[in-house]
Amino acid sequence: MKRKSCLLLCFLLFFTTLIFAQTREDAARDDLDYSSRGRQAMVNESGGLWYGAGAQLGFRGGNNFSFFQIGVSPMVGYKLNNFLSAGPRVSVTYNSYRDDLYGIKDKYFSWSAGVFARAKIYRGLFAHGEYSLISDMEYLLAGGQARVTRAIPFLGAGFNQGGGPGSTGFELLLLFRLTQPDRLNDAPYELRTGFNYNF
């Protein structure tokens, strides 16, 4: 009798352990499903769009001239898949220009509008291609001024710090012009900084 009781007790302890082990495995599986559901819900809630914005602030001065500008450049990207996105970018800039030698003093707005594509490469690194129309004021030596619109393609790379689904990040971007500069003061590259959300 003692032997049967001892065998029954060992049998119950063994199966009780198996039952609790199964419960622990189910609980762990539920925890994993919960966390992946939370991430997926965050991605679905934030959607396939990401937003970015940069700001311009500049001042130049030299012999008999000065130039001041301030502006903003918002952008919206649509995530085509987990590493590639595309969208529009616009920029509006207020400029104040003064040239004492030629007697020019003017304040005007310049703008640019374009489309871009961006591919995440590794961690925070990404490649960026852009085609922009830039409208700016040009001063003529004979006097007067004219608004000039130019098309400029850019290609470059950047680094994103932070960001991700549902959070804000900071980006630094270096873009090179793919066309020859047609003005004396056109730089061969642009350095941009800005913030993004959900990138």
Binned at pLDDT 50, 70 and 90, residue 101 comes out as: confident
Do 17 and 61 lie in one domain? The reply is no
Write the CA distances from 111 to 50, 105, 134, 162, 196, integer angstroms: 22, 20, 6, 29, 21
Q: Domain of 101: which CATH number? A: 2.40.160.20
pLDDT recorded at residue 35 = 53
- pLDDT (mean) for 149-155: 93
Token match 């005007």: residue? 108
Do 10 and 81 lie in one domain? The reply is no
Which stretch of 50-54, 101-105, 107-111, 117-121 has the lowest confidence by average pLDDT?
101-105
Asked if 184 and 152 touch (Cβ cutoff 8 Å), the reply is no
Do 3 and 96 lie in one domain? The reply is no
Do 87 and 122 lie in one domain? The reply is yes
Kindly report whether the global pTM for this prediction surpasses the value 0.75: no
pLDDT tens digit string along 162-173?
878 888 999 999
Do 89 and 139 lie in one domain? The reply is yes
Do 65 and 110 lie in one domain? The reply is yes
Segment holding 4, helix H or strand E: helix 2-46
pLDDT recorded at residue 79 = 94
Distance, in Å, from the CA atom of 155 to the CA atom of 16, rounded to the nearest integer, reads 65
Question: Range of 28's domain?
Answer: 1-46
pLDDT tens digit string along 16-43?
665 555 555 666 666 665 555 555 554 5
Residues 6+ away with beta carbon under 8 Å from 141 = none
pLDDT recorded at residue 12 = 58
Structural domains in the chain (count): 2
Do 179 and 137 lie in one domain? The reply is yes
Do 27 and 70 lie in one domain? The reply is no
Do 90 and 11 lie in one domain? The reply is no
